Chain A
């Protein structure tokens, strides 16, 4: 059977792998600019306090200090992630709202001097009572964090699709379940780092470990006052992002201001502890879901209430609280869905977007509940899912269009791949098996700021001698392999070998791209890359057509050669011209077909630079209700997982023994990268299910701000994963491709919850499932005679 694609679907090694395995790849902290200064930030030791006096004079006088900046010097421009919630200033002005809130920054000749200078900054605080949890924050009379948001409610969502109350009356079985998840950290291994350089022509260049050069560029421009066109953001190699690096940070903005003030490049980085203090990571979620089904298992109604603990500022939070609700509209048919969500401010670091965004905890609660319902009405959990899943072409009650949805194939693949039928209900006590499903957007249908802008643009420049092309893209490879994806799509669309494609990326000078978040780049940057490649092909073939006298419709490029349908033309003249130009070269083109190299050279001679342009933005999607934008996407990836666990019944310790995972990514671009994203998602899901929680003391200080005490899985904590890829051929995706980066994490936590329940007979309603928590729950169940 002929291969569908020449390049897509293969296991091409990533373009940057050789540099990374040899230590040649440069991350931001590896870079040094001549004359650079080192910066450090002064952060609040109090969770909530007024600032009554700031005196930087002693710090300024310290030998080696070149600048000290506070709100007084940098101004009070408000910024944030969503323009609807610009609720922070770079430096605290009259009050600090969490332990870690930024107050000042210093640039000095070395880091030790900068840190010493911080100690010399004198701040008088008047401590205020702090609210460290949602209950305290919502209590009447509670201290208010933001004057504009009474009762500390940063965002509130009320949506109803269908008619919940009426639908409830039509249900045969209704139950309510809850789940409390905890604040978590993305724990990327590379802490944030940046170097800002403001040169003497008014241009600001920022090298930074970011997922979103474009959004950083805009925020930096807005806050510093440097015009957007004079701000360049360059992303070197990035050691993981997972969400928190998808927004401008105080680190970046401080470095920019310090460089502007000193005229020198300024290098800054967060310590690991500061990464925890900065956070912008997983919110804490409380979910309460009342679900009604018919007696045959048809899901009919859902009332979902969610309360998010969001920390001191909004960050991505308004999108988070919307996603928590909207991402339950699928992948099951659900005609009646009511959602009431609230994001609350507390005096803790701000929470933002983290892999799967607001959908992860909600999916965990819902999928566990479906399992409970399945058990109560006597249907196998797999069958209950199969009974309710949507089909490609279905639209959710909240107007999300499942243009492709390989949900059935995913479920059947994990059922068969795990031996579910042989194991479910047949395992000894202490062993359990559980399943769950999930889905996620392939990019948000709307940019974070209101705009008709294209979401991705790609420019391809053909090298003059035609031997290679370079794709310029502002997209961000943060380890997921998007550069390789761009190269493979370009190679496929243009018809040339992958080895002839170079990618230059992550630089706002190269092209406009919204960056790596919401799992958007394969679909959106991929579309733009495909279009740019087709543009190059069309331009080159137009010249070839003219030269050879063959109508362009009969021409194509495949495997680096110009293919002609029908009567073959005489290519001698073109070839001779090329060879004459290359006297002294060894590897001259041969064969009776023109090479792309020769054709591209011909086109260059005829037209000068051959530059291909590609762009993409989603069509208008979604409904007209408030918040309709959040959750809309041109395509949805989906996933099913089955997990097997052992629970030590005497200690409560949970060990995940096996994981079977199926993900529908539409069309594989790079098979190895798809598997890698699946396996990585599962490891983050396992960590969040069993190990991870950011903990505070009663002064609002993080007590486990280290990688020793904030526990992500080690190699001995992850089992082998069986990864099965499903391809449903997404009509809205380039070559049928859609996301994998976040959809794959959705089923993990609930699959583990369901497996633990299977092993112990006890349902857990609070994460993470530490041994103590499971042990205590088992004990309580025993006492209640269950």
Chain B
């Protein structure tokens, strides 16, 4: 099995890697780049805990081959905050109690961030719809939805 040279921009940094074609993006991020914020809950694209933003769009990284994202941009949960300053979505998750066990949290934050970049004032239904590929067993989703609403308000106020 021939390894391939790829170049991915991960959280703003170019990564040049020599990878076997049968490595998923989840594996590369977690094992090769040490970015363990991306989780693996099922490996089959059914839970959303492996979610990353691929060119800004939420995808299940467990169903993406690393070699498919050569030349593309990937944002993981580690790329959301600005240094130690939390993104408004992250801050809202903390403030609104949207985090219990936290395993779905990275995926939820990324889904929410992508949504708010597309829609400044999403309705509750639109929020639930955007998050409908991220399973959560702890919260019942309510405080997550409230956090996204709160983040949207804060971001609109701050003119982001």
Contact = CB atoms under 8 A, between A and B. Distances in A.
A708 interface: yes
A683 B101 contact: no
A17 to B, nearest CB: 4
B109 interface: yes
A173 interface: no
B40 A29 contact: yes
Interface stretch (B64-72, B87-95, B152-160): B87-95
A683 B142 CA distance: 10
B97 A14 contact: yes
Interface stretch (A81-89, A421-429, A710-718): A710-718
A679 interface: yes
Interface stretch (A183-191, A393-401, A589-597, A773-781): A183-191
A30 B81 CA distance: 20
Nearest to A23: B37
Given A21-B86, A189-B135, A712-B135, A13 B47 contact: no
Contact of A25 (B49, B102, B128): B102
A24 B81 CA distance: 11
Interface stretch (A236-244, A301-309, A545-553, A630-638): A236-244
Nearest to A31: B36
A683 B133 CA distance: 16
A411 to B, nearest CB: 22
Contact of A676 (B37, B129, B133, B143): B143
Interface residues of B, number: 54
Interface of B is mostly: loop
B129 to A, nearest CB: 6
Contacts of B40: 29
Interface string B94-110: 11110111111110010
A239 B141 contact: no
Contacts of A554: none
A18 B104 contact: no
B33 interface: no
Interface string A417-446: 000000000000000000000000000000
Interface of A is mostly: loop
B139 A17 contact: no
Interface string A195-238: 00000000000000000000000000000000000000000011
Interface stretch (A453-461, A478-486, A570-578): A478-486
Nearest to B105: A20
B78 A23 contact: yes
Nearest to B94: A17
Contacts of B133: 714
A22 B110 CA distance: 11
Given A672-B143, A679-B139, A721-B142, A26 B101 contact: no
A582 interface: no
Contact of B99 (A20, A189, A681): A20
B102 A16 contact: yes
B98 to A, nearest CB: 8
A675 interface: yes
Interface in A1-18: 11, 13-14, 16-18
Contact of A683 (B93, B106, B109, B140): B140
- Among A26, A673, A707, chain B packs the most CB atoms within 10 A around the CB of A707
A571 B23 CA distance: 66
B59 interface: no
A695 to B, nearest CB: 16
B99 A707 contact: no
A271 interface: yes
Contacts of A680: 100, 137-140
B132 A23 contact: no
B76 interface: yes
Nearest to A241: B101
B140 A721 contact: yes
A467 B38 CA distance: 35
A720 interface: yes
Contact of B39 (A190, A479, A720): A190
Contact of A718 (B44, B49, B140): B140
Interface string B36-77: 111111111011010000000000000000000000000011
A59 interface: no
Interface string A259-279: 000000000000110000000
A706 interface: yes
A364 interface: no
Contacts of B6: none
A480 B139 CA distance: 10
Contacts of A25: 102
B25 interface: no
Contact of A22 (B78, B100, B134, B144): B78
A706 B143 CA distance: 26
A27 interface: yes
Nearest to A186: B137
A188 B142 contact: no
B42 A706 contact: yes
A557 interface: no
Contact of B132 (A16, A187, A191, A716): A716
A20 B91 CA distance: 11
B145 interface: yes
Given A22-B78, A23-B77, A682-B140, A239 B102 contact: yes
Nearest to A670: B97
B42 A21 contact: no
Interface in A442-481: 478-481
- Among A17, A188, A672, chain B packs the most CB atoms within 10 A around the CB of A17
A479 B38 contact: no
Contact of A720 (B46, B80, B142): B142
Contacts of B129: 715-716
Contacts of A19: 102
A271 B41 CA distance: 8
Contact of B101 (A24, A29, A238, A672): A238
Interface in A25-67: 25-27, 29-30
A684 interface: yes
A-B complex: 6 closest residue pairs judged by Cβ atoms: A23-B37, A479-B101, A239-B103, A20-B102, A672-B97, A683-B140
Interface of A: 11, 13-14, 16-27, 29-30, 186-191, 237-240, 242, 271-272, 478-481, 672-673, 675-676, 679-684, 706-708, 712-716, 718, 720-721
7 contacts: A26-B36, A189-B39, A190-B49, A675-B143, A679-B140, A683-B136, A713-B141
Given A22-B90, A23-B76, 12 more contacts: A17-B102, A25-B102, A186-B137, A189-B41, A190-B49, A238-B101, A240-B100, A684-B137, A707-B41, A707-B135, A720-B124, A721-B140
